[in-house]
Amino acid sequence: MDVKTAIVLAAGEGNRLRPLTRNRPKPMLPAATKPILEHVFDQLVDAGLSEIVVVVGYRCNRVQSYFGSTYRNVPLTYVTQEKQLGTGHALLAAESAVDGGCLVINGDQIVDSRIIRETIAGHENDSAATLGLLQRPNIEEYGGVIVDNGRVTSIVENPRDDRDYFLNAGVYVLEPAVFDAVRTAEPSTGEHHLVDDLSTLIDSEEIVRGVVSEGLWVDATYPWDLLDVSFELFDAGVVDGSRPPDSRHGTTVHESAVIREPVVVDQDCVVGPGSVVGPYVCLGENATVGSNAVVEESVIDADTRIEANATALECVTGVGVTIGAGSIIGGGPGDVRVEDRIFEDESLGALLADRASDRGGVTYVPGSIVGPDVDVHPGTTVRGTLTEGTEVRS
């Protein structure tokens, strides 16, 4: 089947990645030094898709202002899901923008072009839908798919039994009949979920196929996953971590600084004397690493300052963060609270959301989560979760 149009589902917030998603949707969070969604677009273009329909919703202006009307000469059409009522509901929002069969993909997971191409190639004329699948040992946080002789027999979200599941990669080739199935299905808990609607098709004996691929698939569900996503992009060669920082783009690295690969440094960055950056570090646009600072295994977003003699290990920052002089983020493992759950021994030194700042000499207990616009005074020890706008005195 010759599929040329992709629908990208990019309307959700990403609740479990708060507070980083306070000001932007999950697809706009950084993977290395560019948004997750930009990686998604790259893989679609590399796979030969020539039209992209983007379903936006939460903080939609952040997506539209960043990408505009085209990406790599491929036109972008935006449709708005006014209320985030599930992936099936998002799909219906895009129905008027497509004609015939199409590819549907999640905008908050990075799926390489191999999976996309193989899913399209595996779609047959008698199929209502074809799912891209992966062999993974642990799929409890995702969707599991049972396949019998190439045909999907069951789709289970967050499976807990011991059947042999494939992981649902969130890549679908859909015929127009799927839109009708979504439209007529009863919503579950007030939301239309695409996997539920596909399950309904399977139950009615429509043919839904599965194609197993070995391509790259990475997802950030929780804050510490943003580290793993970027590191996997290094290891897979999607991001070149061996390229020296480019002075032609305004970046300055002092001759006494040490860069330990893999590292990716965006434009207009400053790396000061005696500092050590890497391995596995991503410095976003206009980031500054002060003299004798140490940054390892961290994703540092745009306009962030890591001041002199500070240490940042296994650190994730939002935009415009300041880690003050002599402050120490010593790395994990740590216990991290996400909504009402505690995750033990995760590899996260600290997460600092947009415009959080400390005034120097601050120590972060592993697993600390610092909300937007938090102001931490000198000499403080930060632990647990600090909510937006908090002022913390020692």
Give the burial class of 288: count Cβ atoms within 10 A of its Cβ; 0-12 exposed, 13-18 middle, 19 or more buried: buried
Round to whole Å and give the CA distance between 126 and 103: 16
Domain 242-392 homologous superfamily, CATH: Hexapeptide repeat proteins (2.160.10.10)
Here the tokens at position 305 are 């300052």
pLDDT tens-digit readout, 195-237? 888 888 888 888 889 999 988 998 888 899 999 999 999 998 8
Helix/strand/coil for 116: helix
Annotated domain spans of the chain:
5-219, 242-392
Which 8-state DSSP code applies to residue 188? B
Backbone angles phi, psi at 13, to 5 degrees: -85, -50
User: What are the b/e assignments for 305-343, b being 16+ CB within 10 Å?
Assistant: bbbbbbbbbbbbbbbbbbbbbbbbbbbbebbbebeeeee
pLDDT tens-digit readout, 80-136? 988 878 888 888 888 888 888 899 999 999 999 999 999 999 998 888 899 999 988
**pLDDT of 88:** 84
Backbone angles phi, psi at 315, to 5 degrees: -115, 140
CB 306 within 8 A of CB 298: no
1: pLDDT confidence band, cut at 50, 70 and 90?
A: low
Here the tokens at position 175 are 């015929």
Q: Domain 5-219 is in which class?
A: alpha beta
- Residue 246 pLDDT > 80, yes or no? no
